Structures are given as structure tokens and as C-alpha cells.
Amino acid sequence: MSAAARRQACNDTIGVDKGQLDRLLGYAIARANFVGDATFHAAVRDRSVTPLRYAMLEVVGSNPGLLQVQLGETLALSRPTVTMLLDYWQSQDCIERRSTPIDRRSFGIFLTAIGSARLAELRACARVHDRELGLGLTASERAELKRLLDKLAGTAN
């Protein structure tokens, strides 16, 4: 189902009283996230790769040797969450943890050859997904939405 079809499905509940939900910013964000997640999975064609798992692989691929703690800080994740995500990608032979020369208790994260190939595939899927997700928006609306979401998340420049 396309992003447009999913958006329409969300609006097809005419006559159903949703209480205050339609006035809540959080609910609007959650509905948009539902559409985003569904279309991401359709684009990737692998339900085991979540947007967060993709984000982690993207950050590792862009920063070879990044420490686990830096990875967690970058994505605002707890240590246990980082560990679980890294375990997933390691089980797929996509990343490897290497102890660092400065502190052998810390690990740098690197893509394997399989991981580099997988990231290239996922990047292409993410670009397709991003285009489809924003089909109903003009370029200026996309830029404004991105700016407002970054501001809401506290990451605006």
C-alpha cells in the first residue's frame, strides 16, 4: 500500500469520535510515524530492518571506528539498546566490533564487506521511501516540515 493510500485509510474513519486525539500534536506525529514506518518496510522489503536499525547502520557506515558510546549518544539511545542493535547487525555479518588501542574495554564499530553492500542497498531504498513519503508536499513544505521536526526534536541548527 502506498503512502497516499495509507494516509487515506487514516482519514476513512468518518463518523468515529476520536475525542481529543485530532487536536494533539503527539497523535499527529504518531500517525505520520505509522505511515512512515509502513512505507519504509515496503521500500526495504525486509521487516527485520527497522528505521532505527537502518539509522544505526548509516551512522556506522559514515563513521568507521565510531565507539559504541558515541553511537548511542548520536542516536540518543541507551547502552542496552545500542548493544541489542549492534548484536542484530553483527548476527547479519554486517558489522564488527574492534577493541580500540587507547582502551581495550571500548569498541570501535566497522562495517564488513557484507555490511557495506547491505548499506548501499538500504540507502537506495531509503531514498525511494523518502521520495514517496513526501509526494504530497512541495519542496518548500518538505523543508519547513523538516525544520519544524528538527526544532521539536531539539536538533535544529
pLDDT tens per residue across span 82-110: 999 999 999 999 999 998 877 777 789 99
Tell me how far CA of residue 31 lies from CA of 35, 44, 69, 80, 88, in angstroms: 6, 20, 31, 27, 27
Count helices and strands (H / E) in the chain.
7, 3
Domains of the chain: 3-153 (1.10.10.10)
Residue among 30, 34, 50 nearest 125 (CA): 50
- When pLDDT is cut at 50, 70 and 90, the band that residue 156 belongs to is low
As a whole number, mean pLDDT of residues 76-84 equals 95
Compute the mean pLDDT over every residue in the chain, rounded to the nearest whole number: 89
- When pLDDT is cut at 50, 70 and 90, the band that residue 34 belongs to is very high
Cell of 50: 527497522
As a whole number, mean pLDDT of residues 1-24 equals 71
Give residue 105's pLDDT.
74
Residue among 127, 132, 49, 139 nearest 94 (CA): 49
If you compute the radius of gyration of the chain from its CA atoms, what whole number of angstroms results? Answer: 18
Give residue 154's pLDDT.
83
Residue among 64, 47, 107, 119 nearest 82 (CA): 107
Is the model's pLDDT at 13 over the cut of 70?
Answer: no
- When pLDDT is cut at 50, 70 and 90, the band that residue 115 belongs to is very high
pTM as predicted: 0.81
Is the model's pLDDT at 152 over the cut of 80?
Answer: yes
